[in-house]
Each structure stands twice: as structure tokens, then as C-alpha cells.
């Protein structure tokens, strides 16, 4: 039996020596300067910590205080109609913690009282209905993991803004497990008339956000959701109820959902005419570009996540997703597209969900041009930005799913670059 309390053993363990040929780790007992983190008893080993009554609802370590959503004040006139960004470079796996899901508001965070919450279904239905929260909880529920991406994610990169970090270039996305009632069940309860072809989803916030959605999608996989990652929706994500429109642009996932109107044609409201359409070079506009195209981004290394060590074994990681299915494959390149390697996927592969990829390799210490390229389950391959611009020009804000490049220098510092 080994006495793990023998203080002489701590003295035996002394600091940091790289192991040739393997991963970098200190060899215990090596002839280098003692590492006080090993030789000295740490404060957390000597004193009792807080008890189980200290944190009824927990929060991150103070050492993680930099892991936050960030907004860009110059982007909009006012923070109540603006966006902030998920810190993708600090996250791993595929679940976004609720506190870090990016926000996009048109009238600020509506703070609803769930006791006064009502959801109305009206229009081309046999019985207009009004549901309370308790009513909704009496319908059969489903649980599904889906990404929500703002159509404007990466929008500033169209003209080469080159924002310095994937939080800002790709951070208008999050991925959580939703619990909700299929919208189909509520529409069936109201009785959709045969002339119906569209719904209008309306929010209860001060902006009265509305979007037209084809009835076919509404009856297919939309959820009237009240939980995210197990707990109630967060206020900034539509508490108590939001619409989930899997694979389609985030603006359609109406938050604080108060009304579903059933109609026979689209409403052509603000958010589907002056906004969320893409002006093409010839003056025409793409409209009803609902599905989010396959896309990927390397989250580390990246401008906010430089390589913190010298040459040797390292992990490159990123996210890939498609509004049309799953991601069976991601390619990565370290040399700006001269050679591509298939990345290692790890974690669940859900329909219309983030996928996590890794590339484990030995860095030779030379500069790199990092890119990732997603393949989705329909066979579609993520295009270059130039290929997109050739077709769609540079008037667009929305639906930039082009390949992103990070240039990494000898020091491991990464920056956002464009290469042809």
C-alpha cells in the first residue's frame, strides 16, 4: 500500500522537462528547478471550501470571467436592437451553455410573466385558440438538439471586414437541446383550413417581431419550445416560449411567441423584405433564403485562441453545421488549401445541429494558413468566399457560409486573412 501523504514524495517531484518525441509533460523527478505547484501544498488542499448551501444556482469559476458574450458597440445605434456573440473559441463539444448563447434583440429583452403568458392561434383555422403555459404543458413533448444561426452570421466578412476572432466572425450561433410541443399538434388542435399555406409567427416583445413561414415547415419539424438544455428558456432566448424552426435562419425562431396566424400567402413584413433578403449585383434580391447552408469554422487556434506553446503535438478544433442535415465529414488544411486532411469528428451527429471536429497533429513551428471545409449529408460542400462573391456579389449581409482562413505565425498568433 502506498502512503500518498508521505511528504518526502512531494519533494521528489520537481518541475518541467519536455519529453522528446512525445507530448510535452514534466517528467517527475527530473533534474530541473522545483515546481512550487507540485512541491508546495496549495491553499485549496489546506482549507475547507464553500459548502453545498453556498450556490443554489451555480456559476462559473472566477478564472473563467473572460468567457462571456461580447457585443460590438459600433455595430448598431443602440444595444436594445443589436447582437452579441457566443465565445466559440472558449467552448468545446457541441452544447452551448445557456448563459453564453448569443443574443439578437429588436426591442431588448422582454421580461414576461409566465402567469400572463398566452399563445394565440388564429386566421384560417376552424377554432381560434388561446393557450396558457399550463395548456401547452398538456401536449406531447419532444426533445431535440438544433443549432440556431443568425442569417447575418459572418455577414461583415462579405466585404472583408476581417473581424479578429471567431467569436465575432461566427459567434451568432448556438446549439442547445430544446424541449417543446410540435407546432403541428397545436395547429391540428385549432384545425387548419384547406386554403391555408402559410403561418405568421409574432413575438410579444416591444418590437412585435413577425415572420412568415410556409405551413409545410410549420407542420414538419417546428417546436413550440419552453426548455433549453433542460431548464426554462432564458429571458433573452424568449422565455417562456419561443419557436424552433430547425435549420432555418434565426430570425424566424420567434422569441416570446404570442401568436400564430394561419393564412394563404406570405405577409411580406419588414423582416422578410427590407431585411433578410440579399441584394444581388444585378439589383434583384434573393428572398425566402431560409435554410442555413453548410458551414464550418476553426475555433482553436484562432485570433482569440493563439497557440500557447511551441512546436510539437497539438489539437486543432472547430464546429461544422448544415441547415439541411448532418455533417458526415469536415476537411482541414494547414497550408491554405494546397493539401486537405479529413478531420476527426467527435460527439453526437444530430440533424441540423453543431458537429465538433478535431485535427490532432504535430506542429513544425512554421506559419500556417488554417481552413476548414464542411460536407453535409446532401453532398453539398462548403464553398470559398470568392465562389460565393462570384454569384452573389458584395451587396449581401446574409448567408455568408464561405470558408474562413486564419493565418498563424511562428509565435502561434492567429489573424483573420483572405486568400485567393
Q: Which residues ranging from 219 to 278 are in contact with a second copy (CB under 8 A)?
A: 227, 229-232, 234-236, 239-240, 256, 259, 261, 263, 267-268
User: C-beta of 245: minimal distance to a second copy in Å?
Assistant: 18
Interface with a second copy includes 139 (CB under 8 A)?
Answer: yes
Interface with a second copy includes 13 (CB under 8 A)?
Answer: yes
Q: Which of 7, 20, 283, 308 binds a second copy (CB under 8 A)?
A: 308
Interface with a second copy includes 162 (CB under 8 A)?
Answer: no
Q: Number of residues in contact with a second copy, rule: CB under 8 A?
A: 142
Instruction: Of 141, 105, 138, give the one whose Cα is nearest residue 239.
Output: 105
Residue 412: partners with Cβ closer than 8 Å, 6 or more residues away: 301, 306, 307, 308, 309, 310
* Calpha distance 216→391 (Å, rounded): 29
**E strand intervals along 204-352:** 210-214, 223-228, 231-232, 242-244, 257-263, 278-279, 285-286, 295-300, 312-321, 329-333, 341-342, 344-345
- The number of C-alpha atoms within 13 Å of 389 and in the hemisphere containing its C-beta is 12
Binding span for a second copy by CB under 8 A among 56-64, 154-162, 285-293, 389-397 = 56-64
User: C-beta of 143: minimal distance to a second copy in Å?
Assistant: 3
User: C-beta of 395: minimal distance to a second copy in Å?
Assistant: 26
Interface with a second copy includes 291 (CB under 8 A)?
Answer: no
Instruction: Of 12, 11, 35, give the one whose Cα is nearest residue 25.
Output: 35
Site pattern 323..352 for a second copy (x: CB under 8 A): ---------------------x-xxx-x--
Binding span for a second copy by CB under 8 A among 136-144, 321-329, 331-339, 366-374 = 136-144
* Calpha distance 40→37 (Å, rounded): 6
Interface with a second copy includes 145 (CB under 8 A)?
Answer: yes
Pairing of strands 257-263, 119-123: parallel
Give yes or no for a cis peptide into 301 (omega within 30° of 0): yes
User: C-beta of 80: minimal distance to a second copy in Å?
Assistant: 4
312 DSSP assignment: E
Q: Which of 20, 77, 116, 194 binds a second copy (CB under 8 A)?
A: 116
User: C-beta of 389: minimal distance to a second copy in Å?
Assistant: 29
The nearer residue to a second copy, 6 or 410, going by C-beta atoms, is 6
Q: Which of 313, 365, 367, 379 binds a second copy (CB under 8 A)?
A: 313
Interface with a second copy includes 90 (CB under 8 A)?
Answer: yes
| Secondary structure element (H or E) that encloses residue 294, with its range | none
Grid coordinates representing 257 are 411567441
The nearer residue to a second copy, 110 or 414, going by C-beta atoms, is 110
Q: Which of 7, 31, 48, 195 binds a second copy (CB under 8 A)?
A: 48
The nearer residue to a second copy, 50 or 216, going by C-beta atoms, is 50
- Restricting to residues 170-209, name those near a second copy by CB under 8 A: 176-179, 189, 200, 202, 204-206, 208
* Calpha distance 420→418 (Å, rounded): 7
The nearer residue to a second copy, 16 or 417, going by C-beta atoms, is 16
- Restricting to residues 361-420, name those near a second copy by CB under 8 A: none
Interface with a second copy includes 281 (CB under 8 A)?
Answer: no
Q: CA–CA distance from 171 to each of 96, 140, 186, 297, 391 (Å)?
A: 11, 33, 33, 10, 25
* Calpha distance 16→31 (Å, rounded): 9
Give yes or no for a cis peptide into 256 (omega within 30° of 0): no
Q: Are residues 278 and 288 in contact, defined by beta-carbon separation less than 8 angstroms?
A: no
Residue 394, SS3 per DSSP: coil
Amino acid at each position: 500500500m502506498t502512503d500518498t501523504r508521505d511528504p518526502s514524495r512531494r519533494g521528489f517531484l520537481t518541475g518541467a522537462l519536455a519529453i522528446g518525441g512525445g507530448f510535452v509533460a514534466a517528467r517527475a523527478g527530473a533534474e530541473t528547478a522545483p515546481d512550487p505547484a507540485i512541491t508546495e501544498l496549495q491553499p485549496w488542499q489546506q482549507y475547507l471550501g464553500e459548502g453545498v448551501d453556498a450556490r443554489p444556482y451555480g456559476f462559473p469559476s472566477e478564472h473563467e470571467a473572460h468567457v462571456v458574450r461580447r457585443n460590438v458597440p459600433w455595430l448598431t445605434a443602440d444595444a436594445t436592437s443589436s447582437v452579441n456573440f457566443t465565445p466559440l473559441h472558449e467552448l468545446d463539444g457541441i452544447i452551448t451553455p445557456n448563459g453564453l448563447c448569443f443574443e439578437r434583440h429588436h426591442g431588448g429583452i422582454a421580461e414576461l410573466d409566465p402567469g400572463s403568458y398566452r399563445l394565440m392561434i388564429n386566421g384560417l383555422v376552424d377554432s381560434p385558440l388561446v393557450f396558457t403555459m399550463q395548456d401547452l404543458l398538456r401536449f406531447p413533448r419532444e426533445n431535440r438538439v438544433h443549432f440556431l444561426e443568425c442569417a447575418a452570421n459572418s455577414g461583415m466578412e462579405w466585404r472583408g471586414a476581417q473581424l479578429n476572432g471567431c467569436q465575432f466572425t461566427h459567434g451568432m450561433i448556438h446549439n442547445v437541446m430544446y424541449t417543446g410541443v410540435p407546432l403541428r399538434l397545436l395547429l391540428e388542435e385549432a384545425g387548419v383550413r384547406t386554403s391555408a399555406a402559410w403561418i405568421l409567427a409574432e413575438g410579444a416583445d416591444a418590437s412585435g417581431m413577425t415572420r412568415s413561414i410556409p405551413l409545410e415547415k410549420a407542420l414538419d419539424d417546428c417546436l413550440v419550445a419552453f426548455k433549453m438544455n433542460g431548464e426554462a428558456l432564458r429571458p433573452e432566448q424568449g422565455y417562456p416560449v419561443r419557436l424552433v424552426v430547425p435549420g432555418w435562419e434565426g430570425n424566424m425562431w420567434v422569441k416570446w411567441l404570442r401568436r400564430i396566424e394561419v393564412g394563404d400567402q406570405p405577409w411580406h413584413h419588414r423582416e422578410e423584405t427590407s431585411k433578410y433578403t440579399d441584394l444581388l449585383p444585378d439589383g434583384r434580391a434573393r428572398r425566402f433564403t431560409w435554410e442555413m447552408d453548410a458551414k464550418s469554422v476553426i475555433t482553436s487556434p484562432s485570433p482569440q485562441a493563439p497557440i500557447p506553446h511551441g512546436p510539437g503535438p497539438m489539437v486543432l478544433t472547430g464546429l461544422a453545421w448544415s441547415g439541411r442535415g448532418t455533417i458526415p465529414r469536415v476537411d482541414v488544411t494547414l497550408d491554405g488549401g494546397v493539401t486537405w486532411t479529413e478531420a476527426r469528428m467527435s460527439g453526437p451527429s444530430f440533424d441540423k445541429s453543431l458537429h465538433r471536429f478535431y485535427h490532432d497533429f504535430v506542429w513544425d513551428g512554421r506559419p500556417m494558413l488554417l481552413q476548414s471545409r464542411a460536407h453535409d449529408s446532401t453532398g453539398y460542400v462548403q464553398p470559398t468566399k470568392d465562389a460565393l462573391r462570384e454569384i452573389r456579389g458584395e451587396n449581401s449581409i446574409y448567408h455568408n457560409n464561405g470558408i474562413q482562413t486564419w493565418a498563424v505565425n511562428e509565435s502561434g498568433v492567429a489573424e483573420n486573412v483572405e486568400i485567393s
